[in-house]
């Protein structure tokens, strides 16, 4: 059992947790993830480690309630426990001094981009961060991002805060202004990562994305997380989760991530039914 | 019949006793075990068939050299507990091995009775004694040597790790087993389905090991959460045994393999066995809804049989095995093939897939296949399948399960650079001691051999335990020198 030390909502439906896991806290590097299993009948699901504190022995994850498990996680509070937490998994981000590095986070992807942006800064890069959200109330980690950025931009789809538009438009603007960009990290919804890849492709800017295929064991056994990169089969849990954005087959990833849509709906309905019965929301 | 009076002629006249099983039609709709086990009467009768050879070749046919003649004699005499303990001198998991060992290629293959008649049902008898001890609640903790003060880390709680841990504990060493998953048992839990190996049996065996003082730590991925180097260093283990099993699945490399609905047997079985997806939505993990659908499993090994029979049990309307050679070349156990046939699995033999076909939503709709015929023997000694011109056809399917084998888990190799690995990424060991190229680090099971059997992994675990024990016995506690 793993104890939740703190649990705070950062925005509607987006919650930040510090979990006691000293072994993982000691080892974790930017870009790595955890597998969680909330209860005995729960599924195993991955969450990227947003931060860690080796001294206190805690790891930080940020979850957006999207499916049954993430919503159940977001109902937990400080003092509650999680049945299984395992990690740190995945190959750490490749960090070096590229020169000027742009870190792009879309929605809750900002939480995943944050540790890598911090590591890029620590490695001596000039770090520009672009963090996108649908609207102002969904912007997360603004101060944290600012603290690791030489330049920090917020974009909102509805223009309620920062730059009015998509992260890709802001990126294009930077490129068009003649800035020399040496490295781009993009983490967020699949369409956003694909769009960023298309923006940087013509300029040959090295671009990395962190992929989120369905995982079951997450430790290099089942093969469920296979993705197509450069026409080859790669496994996100051990070969990734970060890959060269210009080689990733994003369509294949989004197709394969849809496989359990029907079951997810059934699961949601069963959950809604139980909540009505128990009077919980 | 009095086992002391019975003549050889009388023994030979007894037919092989049939183990009761669930009706095939009934069992194809549930996940309960296929076989129901021998009754004490049936077991005693079967044991009387053994003629007690002076030179029991069956013992040599067993990878761990169980004293088969002796335990069978004890069964014949009605001393079932004595028989269980006799087996356990050489094999700690009789209830498991009695179920999943390929006896027909090992002990039963060389049984003298088998030359003219059916061999003694050694596997069924082994299973019987394991079950008898467990079900009557008479399991004893084996005799253990006094504490040696030495500590050994075992990585992986599958068959190799468990047998290694058991022997090391009996030698008096402190043993900690590290498991990456949330559940102990490795392939016994995530791979082999309930209908072939009830999970309750595995859990019970694990309880027995706990009672011996073995410590188990789940959710630890060695290579990530902790490294081999750290186990030997700050964690102060005197030796490490690596039994992490097979790794990521192989795919066929044909067009359309990325379509939605094409998955590896590892994933399919892990979802159903480890994550209990057959119980969705009570269990949160879903699995492809097989009800009324057509499912094809590609491969001819035991895992392929497990996968196709699982699909059938999940309600598949058609459950096919597609295999490029003929039934005779199938690596799966004969018993499993027969069970599958009786349960209504459709075998498309001498058939290879050329391409998976999908719709505009990238959903699998079928597989284009080609018929094969057997040509000259290849390097494996099996007749090589060659394509038949103009025999292509499309088989409509909704799910494809690829079951053509696994690579090895990359994590230990990536994070322990001084361990030598082969071209196939398996760990290289000294075959006599199972020692790796790294001092005080041993390995065994699928991580060394590539995909093999439970009993071979157990044999390797035991061999390593003995070598570790010998090594620790000649070095003083606290010293790291050899």
Tally the domains of chain B. 3
pLDDT of residue B476: 59
Cβ within 8 Å of B, A 160-219: 216-217, 219
Q: Taking all residues of chain A, what is their mean pLDDT, rounded to a whole number? A: 90
Lowest mean pLDDT among A220-229, B93-102, B211-220: B93-102
Query: B286: domain CATH number?
Result: 3.50.50.60
Q: Is residue B457 part of a domain?
A: yes
Interface contact A65, partner B, CB < 8 A? no
Which value does ipTM take for this structure? 0.89
Closest chain B residue to the Cα of A268, Cα to Cα: B281
Tell me the pTM: 0.90
Residue where a domain stops, chosen among B403, B435, B454? B403
Residue where a domain stops, chosen among B403, B424, B445? B403
Interface contact B110, partner A, CB < 8 A? no
Find, among B186, B308, B189, B196, the residue nearest to B247 by Cα: B186
B247 contacts A228? CB cut-off 8 A = no
- Residue B23 tokens read as 């009706």
What is the pLDDT confidence band of residue B93, given thresholds at 50, 70 and 90? confident
Same domain, B328 and B396: yes
Same domain, B398 and B411: no
Q: Which of A88, A235, A252 sits opposite B224 (nearest CB)?
A: A88
Same domain, B393 and B414: no
Same domain, B411 and B398: no
B181 contacts A249? CB cut-off 8 A = no
Q: Is residue B59 part of a domain?
A: yes
d(CA B255, nearest CA chain A) in Å: 11
Mean pLDDT of the B433-440 span: 94
Q: Is residue B21 part of a domain?
A: yes
Same domain, B242 and B283: no
Same domain, B390 and B277: yes
Chain centroid, CA B244 distance in Å: 13
Same domain, B198 and B278: no
Range(s) of the domain holding residue B120:
3-136
Q: Which residues of A touch B279 (CB under 8 A)?
A: 41
User: Can you tell me whether residue A147 is helix, strand or coil?
Assistant: helix
Residue where a domain stops, chosen among B136, B166, B184? B136
Q: Who wins on pLDDT, B413 or A125?
A: A125
Mean pLDDT of the B269-291 span: 86
Q: Is residue B353 part of a domain?
A: yes
d(CA B236, nearest CA chain A) in Å: 16
pLDDT of residue B481: 42
Chain centroid, CA A111 distance in Å: 6
User: Can you tell me whether residue A141 is helix, strand or coil?
Assistant: coil
* High-pLDDT (> 90) share of chain B, %: 72
d(CA A219, nearest CA chain B) in Å: 7
Interface contact B415, partner A, CB < 8 A? no
Q: Which residues of A touch B263 (CB under 8 A)?
A: 223-224
Torsion of CA A136, A36, A77, A145, to 10 degrees: -30
pLDDT of residue A280: 44
Q: Is residue B144 part of a domain?
A: no
Same domain, B387 and B314: yes
What is the pLDDT confidence band of residue B381, given thresholds at 50, 70 and 90? confident
Q: Who wins on pLDDT, B451 or A267?
A: B451
Same domain, B23 and B72: yes
Q: Which of A54, A223, A251, A263 is best to mutate for the B interface (most B CBs within 10 A)? A: A223
Same domain, B331 and B413: no
Same domain, B350 and B429: no
Interface contact A252, partner B, CB < 8 A? yes
B263 contacts A223? CB cut-off 8 A = yes
A252 contacts B285? CB cut-off 8 A = no
**CA-to-CA distance for A107 and B68, rounded, in angstroms?**
64
pLDDT tens, position by position, for chain A (281 residues)?
999 999 999 888 899 999 999 999 999 999 999 999 999 889 999 999 999 999 999 999 999 988 888 899 999 999 999 999 999 999 999 999 999 999 999 988 898 889 999 999 999 999 999 999 999 988 888 899 999 999 999 999 998 988 888 999 999 999 999 889 999 999 999 999 999 999 999 999 999 999 999 999 999 899 999 999 998 999 999 999 999 999 999 999 998 888 887 777 776 676 666 555 554 43
Find, among B415, B457, B461, the residue nearest to B442 by Cα: B461
Q: Is residue B143 part of a domain?
A: no
Closest chain B residue to the Cα of A38, Cα to Cα: B284
What is the pLDDT confidence band of residue B482, given thresholds at 50, 70 and 90? very low
Q: Which residues of B236-269 are buried (b: 16+ CB within 10 A; e: fewer)?
A: ebbbbbbbbbbbbbbbbebebbbbbbbbbbbbbb
Same domain, B10 and B118: yes
Q: Is residue B262 part of a domain?
A: no
Q: Which of B158, B183, B258 is best to mutate for the A interface (most A CBs within 10 A)? A: B258
Q: Rank A41-45, A61-65, B22-26, B347-351 by mean pLDDT and report only the highest.
A: B347-351
Q: Which residues of A touch B219 (CB under 8 A)?
A: 84-86
Query: B95: domain CATH number?
Result: 1.10.1060.10
Interface contact B233, partner A, CB < 8 A? no
Interface contact A264, partner B, CB < 8 A? yes
Q: Which residues of B touch A255 (CB under 8 A)?
A: 258-260, 361-362
Q: Is residue B222 part of a domain?
A: yes
Q: Taking all residues of chain B, what is their mean pLDDT, rounded to a whole number? A: 91
């Amino acid at each position: 059992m793993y104890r939740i030390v703190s649990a705070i909502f950062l925005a509607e439906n987006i919650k930040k947790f510090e979990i006691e896991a000293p072994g993982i806290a000691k080892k974790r590097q930017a870009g790595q993830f955890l597998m969680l299993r909330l209860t005995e009948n729960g599924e195993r699901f991955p969450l990227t480690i947003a931060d860690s504190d080796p001294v206190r022995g805690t790891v930080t994850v940020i979850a957006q309630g999207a499916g049954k498990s993430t919503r159940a996680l977001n109902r937990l509070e400080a003092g509650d426990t999680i049945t299984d937490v395992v990690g740190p998994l995945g190959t750490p981000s490749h960090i070096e001094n590229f020169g000027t590095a742009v870190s792009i986070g879309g929605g809750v992807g900002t939480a995943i981009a944050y540790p890598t942006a911090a590591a890029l800064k620590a490695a001596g890069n000039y770090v520009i961060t672009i963090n996108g959200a649908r609207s102002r109330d969904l912007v997360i980690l603004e101060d944290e991002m600012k603290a690791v950025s030489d330049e920090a931009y917020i974009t909102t789809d509805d223009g309620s805060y920062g730059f009015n538009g998509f992260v890709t438009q802001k990126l294009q603007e930077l490129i068009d202004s003649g800035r020399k960009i040496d490295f781009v990290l993009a983490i967020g919804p699949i369409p956003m990562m694909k769009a960023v890849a298309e923006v940087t492709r013509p300029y040959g800017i090295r671009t990395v994305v962190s992929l989120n295929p369905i995982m079951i064991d997450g430790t290099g056994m089942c093969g469920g997380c296979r993705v197509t990169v450069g026409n080859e089969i790669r496994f996100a849990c051990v070969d990734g989760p970060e890959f060269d954005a210009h080689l990733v087959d994003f369509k294949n990833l989004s197709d394969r991530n849809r496989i359990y849509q029907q079951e997810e709906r059934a699961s949601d309905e069963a959950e809604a039914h139980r909540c009505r019965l128990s009077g919980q929301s | 019949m009095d086992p002391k009076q019975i003549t050889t002629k009388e023994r030979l006249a007894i037919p092989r006793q049939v183990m009761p099983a669930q009706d095939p039609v009934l069992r194809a709709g549930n996940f309960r075990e296929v076989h129901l086990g021998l009754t004490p009467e049936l077991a005693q009768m079967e044991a009387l068939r053994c003629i007690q050879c002076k030179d029991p070749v069956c013992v040599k046919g067993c990878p761990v050299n169980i004293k088969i003649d002796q335990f069978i004699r004890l069964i014949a005499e009605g001393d079932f507990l004595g028989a269980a303990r006799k087996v356990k001198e050489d094999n700690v998991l009789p209830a498991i091995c009695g179920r999943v060992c390929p006896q027909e290629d090992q002990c039963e293959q060389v049984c003298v009775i088998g030359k003219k008649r059916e061999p003694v049902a050694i596997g069924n008898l082994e299973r019987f004694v394991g079950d008898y001890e467990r079900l009557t609640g008479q399991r004893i903790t084996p005799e253990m040597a006094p504490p040696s003060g030495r500590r050994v880390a075992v990585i992986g709680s599958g068959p190799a790790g468990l047998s290694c841990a058991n022997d090391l504990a009996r030698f008096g060493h402190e043993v900690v087993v590290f498991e990456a998953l949330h559940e102990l048992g490795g392939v016994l839990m995530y791979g082999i389905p309930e209908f072939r190996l009830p999970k309750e049996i595995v859990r019970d065996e694990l309880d027995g090991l706990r009672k011996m003082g073995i410590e188990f730590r789940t959710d630890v991925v060695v290579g990530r959460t902790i490294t081999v180097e750290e186990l030997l260093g700050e964690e102060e283990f005197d030796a490490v045994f690596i039994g992490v099993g097979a790794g990521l699945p192989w795919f066929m490399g044909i067009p359309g393999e990325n379509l939605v609905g094409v998955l590896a047997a590892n994933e399919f079985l892990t979802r159903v066995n480890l994550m209990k997806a057959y119980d969705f939505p009570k269990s949160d993990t879903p699995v492809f809804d097989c009800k009324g659908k057509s499912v094809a499993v590609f491969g001819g090994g035991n895992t392929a049989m497990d996968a196709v029979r699982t699909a059938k049990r999940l309600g598949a309307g058609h459950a096919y095995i597609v295999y490029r050679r003929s039934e005779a070349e199938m690596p799966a156990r004969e018993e499993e093939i027969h069970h599958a046939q009786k349960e209504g699995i459709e075998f498309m033999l001498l058939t290879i897939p050329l391409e998976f076909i999908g719709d505009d939503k990238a959903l699998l709709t079928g597989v284009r296949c080609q018929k094969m015929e057997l040509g000259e023997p290849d390097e494996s000694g099996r007749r090589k399948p060659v394509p038949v011109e103009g025999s292509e056809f499309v088989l409509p399917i909704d799910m494809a399960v690829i079951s053509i084998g696994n690579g090895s888990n990359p994590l230990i190799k990536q994070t322990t650079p001084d361990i030598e690995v082969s071209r196939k990424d398996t760990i290289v060991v000294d075959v006599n001691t199972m020692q790796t190229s790294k001092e005080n680090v041993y390995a065994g099971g699928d991580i060394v051999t590539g995909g093999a059997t439970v009993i071979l992994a157990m044999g390797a675990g035991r061999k390593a335990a003995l070598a570790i024990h010998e090594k620790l016995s000649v070095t003083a506690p606290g010293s790291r020198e050899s």
